[in-house]
Amino acid sequence: MTGDLPGRRGREATVAAIMDAAERLFSTQGFTAVTVRAIAERAGVSHALVHRYLGSKADIYRAVLIRDEEAILQAAAGDPGLLSSASLMFRAGVGVQRQYVRLIAHSALHDLPYDRTSGRFAATERLIELAERAAASATAAERAEKDLDPHLVVAAVVALLLGWVATESWVRPAAGIADMDDDEVYAGLERVVTGILSGNVAGLSRGDSPPG
């Protein structure tokens, strides 16, 4: 058993290198333009090994989506609050998982059908679950005041994240904030995100708040 460990670790490292290479290429060139040979070349492995470990290009693409989506979900693992979870996931999206968010935006903007993706996005589903839970606990007055479907509100927040990451290099100078400190910009955007949620999802007056 011990003798198998180096090989297993070597395979895990190789798979990680292949997925990192694929993520980079998909996020900059798009799904259609990328080939398995290009992924193999960037990862420093053979074309045959990529197929052996991860399968087709579509299989690789879905594997990258699942891996990176899980990383965003884990940024708020176990957090029961909608606003705090959204803040933590937003930070992950504009920070360590920026390349993944750019990959999603590139795919959407270049008309890659949704059914070619992994078919589900766990972080988004988690935010919807929390939004629905908050709405279910709302009073009749709160529901009358904030009557938007929680799915729609979360969709708007997700679209904001995708759009920001895809267009930041243009939007910042256009809005006159090109020289603003990144931390200040992202903290402000985080407040916008939580403001959208708190202003449109019923039931959030019950102690939910973003992290300080």
Q: Is 62 within a domain?
A: no
Question: Average pLDDT, stretch 81-104?
Answer: 93
Same structural domain, 25 and 130: no
Q: Is the pLDDT of residue 4 over 70?
A: no
Same structural domain, 10 and 96: no
Which residues form the domain of 189? 68-212
Same structural domain, 103 and 196: yes
Question: Average pLDDT, stretch 154-160?
Answer: 96
Q: Is 63 within a domain?
A: no
Q: Which two tokens stand for residue 90?
A: 């937003």
Query: Worst-scoring range by mean pLDDT, 4-13, 19-28, 94-103, 107-116?
Result: 4-13
Q: Is 129 within a domain?
A: yes
Reduced to 3 states (helix: H, G, I; strand: E, B; else coil), residue 96 is coil
Total domain count, the chain: 2
The model's confidence at residue 2, banded by pLDDT at 50, 70 and 90, is very low
Same structural domain, 84 and 139: yes
pLDDT of residue 26: 94
Average pLDDT for the chain: 90
Question: Average pLDDT, stretch 144-152?
Answer: 94
Q: Minimal CA–CA distance to 194: which of 110, 88, 109, 123?
A: 88
Query: Worst-scoring range by mean pLDDT, 1-10, 54-63, 181-190?
Result: 1-10
Same structural domain, 27 and 101: no
Q: Is 51 within a domain?
A: yes
CATH number, domain with residue 33: 1.10.10.60
* Residue percentage of the chain with pLDDT more than 70: 92
Query: Worst-scoring range by mean pLDDT, 2-6, 19-23, 30-34, 180-184?
Result: 2-6
Same structural domain, 45 and 117: no
Q: What is the rounded radius of gyration, in angstroms, for the C-alpha atoms of the chain?
A: 20
Please name the amino acid found at residue 103: L
Question: Average pLDDT, stretch 130-144?
Answer: 92
Residue 55 gets the label, from left (phi > 0), alpha (psi -120 to 50) or beta, of left
* Residue percentage of the chain with pLDDT more than 90: 78
Residue 181 gets the label, from left (phi > 0), alpha (psi -120 to 50) or beta, of beta
The model's confidence at residue 120, banded by pLDDT at 50, 70 and 90, is confident
The model's confidence at residue 5, banded by pLDDT at 50, 70 and 90, is very low
Contacts of 101 (CB under 8 A, 6+ apart): 93, 94, 161, 162, 165
Question: Average pLDDT, stretch 76-91?
Answer: 93
Q: Is 60 within a domain?
A: no
Per-residue pLDDT tens digits for 30-78: 899 999 999 999 999 999 999 999 999 999 999 999 999 999 999 999 8
